[in-house]
Amino acid sequence: GGLPALGDSIVSVEGLMGAPQGPPVDTILRVNQHEGPFMKIQDAIRAAKVGDKILVAPGRYQETIRIDRPVEIMGDGHVTDVIVESSGKDTLVFETDFGVIARITLRQRGTGFWNCIDCVAGQLNLEGCDVSSQSLTCISVHKKEARPRIWRNRIHDCGGVGIYVYDSASATIEDNDIYNNGQSGIEISEGANPEISFNRIRDNSQHGVLVHDNGKGELRDNEIFKNNLAGIEVRESGNPKIVRNKIYQHESSGGIYIHHYGRAMIEKNDIYRNSLSGVTVWKSGKPICKQNRISRNGEYGIHVKDGGWGTFEENDVRSNGRGGLLVTLESQLKVVQERNLID
């Protein structure tokens, strides 16, 4: 889960937009606070043509970046060498078709309702960056046209949510460290449908991942651990696919919570060593839960109560503190159980 080095492959605007017509023009605009020719990143963006590269010298740049044309912006050195920060506004706004941001530390400072990165359109490729925020989100992704690729970044220490995907947006969120955020690590709502894989989502003050209000999404092959609330919570008609994740060590909560008309396909996950139950369903939650290994949780492997529904098939639900699968009386006619291994 390290960050890309200077020589690592970076997705290019030209690669995203197809082969250029005629001879390639490889323009590099240089930003250097002391030597120029551009003292600020935004000045270089204003001068850039489609596909230009902007190379940013080490330094601390106090500005808001608004990307309104397809360009690549790269830090010249290690991710910690180039710091862009703002106070009282968003640090970076992305509102064009394609672009790359790589090897830069981005910070949002101060109070108010701001994002460190606000992605409202197109395919932003955010690679190898360090993103933090004292306000609403580290990264906000919204509107149907937005479809960023968020790859191998550190996303941390936000006052609110690490990554919030909503308003029918999509995103590819892969191989990031998402930690120490004041609310959830990732939140999905309002028809958004991100692909979330190979991330480490830990030590967030609320959920690892929260899906609600018709949020969707696929969560595959993530490690979700040591969050203050549930590893994954689904409610209010959220309906994600949850496949092959490790969900563990939630010391004051359970692994997965499904409730208030939440739905989910929960398949082939390893859910273990949570202080409460591995999977808890109540109040008209209705998951399909297949082929999971749910073990060593403090209470039950699976607990269905208070009018919860669900289908539970071929799960290995052994070695949990109070038992394998408990369905309370008011939920017994709403639950399908087949071929589970229960001790």
Q: What is the pLDDT along the chain (343 residues), one digit of tens a residue?
A: 555 554 455 566 555 555 555 555 669 999 999 999 999 999 999 999 999 999 999 999 999 999 999 999 999 999 999 999 999 999 999 999 999 999 999 999 988 899 999 999 999 999 999 999 999 999 999 999 999 999 999 999 999 999 999 999 999 999 999 999 999 999 999 999 999 999 999 999 999 999 999 999 999 999 999 999 999 999 999 999 999 999 999 999 999 999 999 999 999 999 999 999 999 999 999 999 999 999 999 999 999 999 999 999 999 999 999 999 999 999 999 999 999 999 9
Query: Is residue 254 in a domain?
Result: yes
Contact 93/121 with Cβ under 8 angstroms? Answer: no
Query: Is residue 231 in a domain?
Result: yes
The number of folded domains in the chain is 1
Query: Is residue 335 in a domain?
Result: yes
Contact 232/208 with Cβ under 8 angstroms? Answer: yes
Residue 73, beta-bridge partner list: 54, 101
Question: Phi then psi for 47, rounded to 5 degrees?
Answer: -85, -10
Query: Is residue 301 in a domain?
Result: yes
Query: Is residue 272 in a domain?
Result: yes
Query: Is residue 199 in a domain?
Result: no
The residue range of the domain holding 237 is: 226-342
Query: Is residue 277 in a domain?
Result: yes
Question: Phi then psi for 306, rounded to 5 degrees?
Answer: 50, 45
Contact 54/73 with Cβ under 8 angstroms? Answer: yes
In order of 155, 213, 220, 267, 271, the CA distances from 316 in angstroms are 34, 31, 19, 12, 10
CA 10 to chain centre: 20
Query: Is residue 187 in a domain?
Result: no
> Rounded to whole angstroms, how far apart are CA atoms 108 and 105?
10
